[in-house]
Amino acid sequence: MTTNSTNVTMASPRSDARRASRVNPDYLSAGLLFALTVLMIACSRLISSSLGSWAQVSTVLTLGCFLLVAAFGQGLVILSGGLDLSVASLFMFGGVMSTALIGSSNAGAWYLMPAILVGAGLIGALSGVGIAWLKIPPFIMTMGVGIIVGSIALGYTSGSTLGGSPLFLEALMKGSLLNVPVVVLVFVAICVVGLMLQTRTVFGRNLYAIGGSLGAARVSGIPVTRTLVLTYTGSAICAAAGGALLTGYSGGATLMMGEPYLLPSIAAVVVGGSSILGGRGSFLGTIVGTLFLTTLDSVIAATGLAQGWRLIVSGLVIVVALLCQSSSAGSLATWFSRLRR
């Protein structure tokens, strides 16, 4: 009896130590990426004296808000094992419809803005139906829907630039509350809602299951079709909301306003640690990935490089992230465990 008790007592600290040494790869990746972002902000003062201050942090949160909304929807799609290439068109849809229907006033905004988001959701649902029911590959279905939406917008606007953003969107993007920019509060609210939806709801758990194994998810009784339709619906709504917010910030909408957010919306998710094959990842990583890419973009902009070079850098970041995911030697968790030994 005494010997067994002693063994249990001696084994308990060892087991506790093993549990304490376990590090969640998602949290480790997000933590290191956040540290790199902070270091980048601190070192950016070497490029320009206007960088490396709270003003730059505020700018990163402001510009990152638009990307975060789009990346949240894209992250849900990637988590399910798909890819949404209609983000740019739906982003533009939200901005163009906000200026075209509401204009530079708040007349009817209380019902027109929800109607715009519902319209975007229906477009996303169309993609979801094609993917879930007709078994069309996600990237082909969403690319086709994106082309159709973009063509309709081109015909509607005749290629002209639209101006006059709704006043409530301008107040949301440029106003302040208790000396805190409202856009920062919007950024925090998106983070909280996104984390709760992805980790604390049945819908979020179903996405992990579907992305991990579609066949196993069907056998388990998970409503795969409904979940996928809702996923692409949510992605479309997020993209349109991001376009509307950008319209409030910039004061107008253009047909090309969504293009700079397609590749970064994927990059933010992948760089944040999510698997491009689905079934693994966290919105926390997407948040940090968004901050990292937005900070990187602001630093590159300070050097005077053109938008094309910024997209090239985003593409290179995606490639590096995919290479790290495909190799166990490149995994941050593996590297960390080896370092501890």
Enumerate residue ranges in the chain where pLDDT < 50: 1-13, 15-17, 19-21, 328-332, 335-336
Q: What is the pTM of this model?
A: 0.85
pLDDT value at residue 136: 95
The pLDDT score that the predictor gives to residue 57 is: 85
Closest CA to 286 of 321, 246, 332: 321
Question: Strands (DSSP E) along the chain, which ranges?
Answer: 162-163, 176-177, 180-181, 252-253
For residue 306, give every residue at least 6 positions away whose Cβ sits within 8 Å of its Cβ, in sequence order, or none.
Answer: none
Region of residue 159 (left: phi > 0; alpha: psi -120 to 50; beta: else): left
pLDDT value, residue 132: 93
Q: With the C-alpha atoms ordered 286, 113, 110, 100, is the resulting torsion angle positive or negative? A: positive
Q: In this predicted structure, what is the pLDDT of residue 23?
A: 57
pLDDT at 337: 52
Own/partner pairs, 21-27, CB within 8 angstroms, 24+ separation: 21/340, 23/333, 23/336, 23/337, 25/273, 25/331, 25/332, 25/333, 26/273, 26/280, 26/281, 26/282, 26/284, 26/285, 27/282, 27/284
User: What tokens were used for 174?
Assistant: 């440029």
Distance CA(96)–CA(90), nearest Å, equals 10
pLDDT tens-digit readout, 256-291 = 899 989 988 998 998 888 888 888 888 999 999 999
pLDDT in the model for residue 162: 66
Angle at 197 between CA 216 and CA 173, to 5 degrees: 140
Instruction: Report CA dihedral (33, 35, 41, 42) to the nearest 10 degrees.
Output: -150
Neighbouring CB atoms inside 10 A of 307's CB total 12
Could you read off the pLDDT of 114-159 as tens digits, one per residue?
999 999 999 999 999 999 999 999 999 999 999 999 888 888 777 6
pLDDT at 325: 56
**What per-residue confidence (pLDDT) applies to 70?**
95
